[in-house]
Amino acid sequence: MSTMRAVLIKDDEGPIENLYIGETEKPVPMEDQVLVKVVAFGLNRMDLLQRERKYPPPPGTSTILGVEFSGRVEYLGPGVTKWSTGDEVFGLSGGGAYAEYIAAHQDLLIRKPPHLSWEEAAGIPENFITAQQAVILYGELKRGDDVLVHAGASGVGIAVIQMARSLGARSVTATASTKEKLDFLLSIPNGATEVANYKTEDFSKTVKNATGGKGVDVVVDFVGRTHWEKNIESLAVDGRMIILAILSGSVVPTVDLGPILRKHLKIQGSTLRSRSLEYQSNLINSAPFQEVVSKITGREGDGQARIYIHKVFPWTEIQKAHKEMSENKNIGKIVCRIS
């Protein structure tokens, strides 16, 4: 049995201190899979939840943490036609990215442009594919629409803001918890047009001021319970709300259904990781997403959309990386590089 190094969890669950780098079985690519030698991987909030057994990986996927990565194709499994050994790629997976090698489906890989670093490429898949799902597929964003984005300084939040602006949103209101994060969101190209500190401000009032009382056409929410009432208040007639996470909890004690009826609201919940291979592949290979990807640059580039890296950790400091995210310190993406 061939082995590799990977980030493992002592006792298979627990606090940050249970993370360590150890030896485990090296994956063997199956039909339509390629073996990728991982260079860098991105951190996501779900990784912290999985570490605590609050977000199990989909059946049949690796139990190793991590859903996005960049690296080089090392070996082709049976039936692979899209890639060659040595190709530089980044991609999405149900799990297994916190490792030296990952077996990934050929349809969930994207060719790495030479102008992107390995770290920048590793931070794109989960962020921008989720944004594509929220803004275009379910948000049905049209030019001139108004948008509200929560968790605005997260990797996904920044991707949603930029995508909405590049597609012609009239206004994008973003929420975050600190002045530093809000100032950043206002400062970046294709950033937020309005911001609100959800801890100290009523963001529904910010929305109404920004839209002349109309409300927003699209809400992208990651928070859940604490934001529910103000989200409904923020929505315009025929508005769409996409719920991608429930960080503050899933149970809203009392819900007034009246505004949903009166304003003809559409509320859509969705996750990406648990979706079928076909669903994920269709998102990745759709014309709108491919167009967005072709224009992504790093922070110093001139792309309509940019990937903002908060900090790169060597994977030997995986505990520090998880701590950085758990303390909500990041503005943009946290990435680890394998050494």
Q: What's the pLDDT at 292? A: 86
| Per-residue pLDDT reduced to its tens digit, 153-183 | 999 999 999 999 999 999 999 999 999 999 9
Compute the distance between CA of residue 131 and CA of residue 234 in angstroms, rounded to an integer. 20
Compute the distance between CA of residue 53 and CA of residue 12 in angstroms, rounded to an integer. 8
19 contact partners, CB below 8 Å, separation of at least 6: 7, 8, 9, 10, 51, 318, 319, 322
Q: What's the pLDDT at 35? A: 98
Structure tokens at 158: 């920044």
Residue 166: is it exposed, middle or buried by C-beta count within 10 angstroms (0-12/13-18/19+)? middle
Binned at pLDDT 50, 70 and 90, residue 306 comes out as: very high
189 contact partners, CB below 8 Å, separation of at least 6: 304, 306
Q: What's the pLDDT at 312? A: 98
Q: Note the pTM of the prediction, 2 decimals.
A: 0.95
Q: What's the pLDDT at 124? A: 97
